[in-house]
Amino acid sequence: MNVAEAIEQRRAVKHYDPAHRMTEAEITELLSLAMKSPTAFNIQHWRFVVVGDPELRRQIRAVAWDQAQVTDASLLIVLCADGRAWKKQPQGYWRNAPQAVQDFLVPAIGQYYEGREQVQRDECMRSCGLAGQTIMLAAKAMGYDSCPMDGFDFDAVAKLINLPEDHLIAFMIVVGKGTKEAWPRGGQLAYEQVVIKNRF
């Protein structure tokens, strides 16, 4: 399957075969591909909490409007971000770059983010969004369906997964073998309404 096919075929699927299990090799492949997603300054602040414990899944389902895909899909991933990754050993993000590149970029990280809480949060959300789309397209290419989710109590899930204070949750994604097709697309906006040339 090529990328265009994966984009066309990816849908938010809600119904999954609860008996299907992804192999550890498949999960590793999927999340390793997600780790190729771009991040500003190569900060890589996404953290993928893979929830495999059935009881913890049930508890998360209870604070996610009782949505069946939380427990039925093969994989439940809580996409989180380390909001302070920009200041935690930033030299490590560029350790393999030429010295001149390191000398320029490593100090620039702190200069860009220091004291800018909203920018730090926005960066986390952008990065998790890019990684999430990578997960969903890679899953489709591997023959799996997926569904991004923000219909849950973020604070409750944070407590259930012991989210560190300096981390945040962007959204969740389930991946697995769908048992029902998604509804027809609800109503795509016209190309001309979405694509603006030069200025509004």
Edge-to-edge strand order for the sheet containing 75-82?
A: 46-50, 75-82, 167-176, 145-149
CA distance 179 to 143: 13
CATH architecture of 3-194: 3-Layer(aba) Sandwich (3.40)
pLDDT at 68 over 90: yes
What is the crossing angle of helices 99-113 and 117-141, to 10°? 120
Mean pLDDT for 90-108 is 94
CA distance 142 to 65: 29
- The mean pLDDT value of the chain amounts to 96
Confidence at 8, pLDDT banded by 50, 70, 90: confident
pLDDT score, position 50: 98
Read off the pLDDT of residues 101-134 as tens digits, 9 standing for 90 and up: 999 999 999 999 999 999 999 999 999 999 999 9
Read off the pLDDT of residues 9-22 as tens digits, 9 standing for 90 and up: 899 999 999 999 99
Phi, psi of 149 (to 5 degrees): -140, 130
* HSE value, Cβ hemisphere, 13 Å, CA-based, for 89: 4
Mean pLDDT for 75-98 is 96
pLDDT at 52 over 90: yes
Confidence at 182, pLDDT banded by 50, 70, 90: confident
3-class SS of residue 19: coil
pLDDT at 168 over 90: yes
Chain centre distance of CA 160: 18
pLDDT score, position 40: 96
What residues have CB less than 8 Å from 61, skipping those under 6 apart?
Answer: 67, 68, 70, 71
CA distance 42 to 101: 13
Domain ranges of the chain: 3-194
Locate 91 and state its tokens: 């030299």
pLDDT score, position 181: 86
pLDDT score, position 178: 96
Chain centre distance of CA 98: 30
Helix residue ranges per DSSP H, 63-173: 69-72, 99-113, 117-141, 154-160
Confidence at 184, pLDDT banded by 50, 70, 90: confident
